[in-house]
Amino acid sequence: MIEFQNVSFSYESGTPVLQNLCFSIGAGEAVGLIGANGAGKSTIMKILLGLLPCEGGVTVGGLAVKKQNLGEVRKKLGFVLQNSDNQMFMPTVYEDMMFAPRNYGLSKEEAEARVDRVLSELGLTELKHRYNHKISGGEKRMAAIATILAMEPEAILMDEPSTALDPVNRRTVIRAINGLTMTKLIASHDLDMILDTCDRVILLSHGQVAADGPAGEILRDKALLEANRMELPFCLAGPSPRQ
């Protein structure tokens, strides 16, 4: 579904962010992208979406990520932004959810049916006609996921989906993510959430893959995580020092 072959990327200053990155993600896989700040997680997502140019080959569903394919590539990928305020730009949740299906040529009736189905699946029907600026952070995050699901993408990319959520909303988001059957690529520092939602983890360090394997294995490897400026997930770390 997603393939990175010798991908390198540097900002204008010349600082390399990604160096000869290679990995592939199969259809239906749930992959967590972890790494310290600046490891290149968000950059990978932006490259996948064609928002940043890079050296090397990137394909999505067999299509190379290049200018002439961007429309098709972006149709296959749904991107949940870290800041839901930037994602939800229409006045109401309903209008936001209608935005992509209508842009992709669905009639109003078809788009509305899809919106209703997604809202019902996520248990968000009561949000449908609410104004985006009047819903809570947790509701907004769920609504942001709903707007992407209304696109019916083949893969969903999420950048820090659990940031700034209270425990209940975080759990709701995790349940929603686990309910999705499409390919998932989740970039996060919340390793507990990665453990709860992903089968496989790609650990990035200095723009390279430091480890790639089953989530349960990598997230239990204390030495590996600490060598890459990370820590064990809280649920595996045992009692805190103050207890």
Partner 1 sequence: MNNISAASREFREMDELSAQDSPIHRLHPLVKLLVTLAYIVCVVSFPKYQLSGLAVMVLYPVLVFQLSGIPVRTCFHKLRIVLPLVCAVGLLNPFFDRAPLLYVGGLAVSGGVVSMVTLMLKGVFSLMASFLLIATTSIDALCAALRKLHVPALLVTLLLLTYRYISVMIGEVAVMTDAYRLRAPGQKGIHISVWGSFLGQLLLRSMDRAEELYQSMQLRGFRGEFYYADQPPCTAGAVAYGVVCAALFVLARLYDLPQLLGNLFV
Reduce the DSSP state of residue 186 to 3 states and report it: strand
Q: Does 105 engage in binding with partner 1 (CB under 8 A)?
A: yes
**Identity (one letter) of the amino acid at 234?**
F
Pairing outcome for strands 77-80 and 155-159: parallel
Q: Does 9 engage in binding with partner 1 (CB under 8 A)?
A: no
Q: Does 104 engage in binding with partner 1 (CB under 8 A)?
A: yes
- Strands in 63-64's sheet, in edge-to-edge order, are 16-25, 2-10, 55-60, 63-64
Q: Which stretch binds partner 1 (CB under 8 A): 19-27, 102-110, 117-125, 205-213?
A: 102-110
Least separation in angstroms between CB 64 and partner 1: 18
Q: What is the DSSP string of 17-80?
A: EEEEEEEEE-TT-EEEEEESTTSSHHHHHHHHTTSS--EEEEEETTEE-SGGGHHHHHHHEEEE
| Nearer Cβ to partner 1 (11/104) | 104
**Binding test (CB under 8 A) with partner 1, winner from 6, 27, 89, 235:** 89
Q: Does 91 engage in binding with partner 1 (CB under 8 A)?
A: yes
CA–CA distance, 57 with 80 (Å, rounded to integer) = 23
Q: Does 221 engage in binding with partner 1 (CB under 8 A)?
A: no
**Cα dihedral sign, 137-138-140-145:** positive
Q: Does 83 engage in binding with partner 1 (CB under 8 A)?
A: yes
**Binding test (CB under 8 A) with partner 1, winner from 65, 77, 124, 193:** 77
What is the binding site for partner 1 (CB under 8 A)?
49, 51, 71, 74-75, 77, 79, 81, 83, 85-87, 89-92, 95, 98-100, 102-105, 108, 131, 133, 147, 151
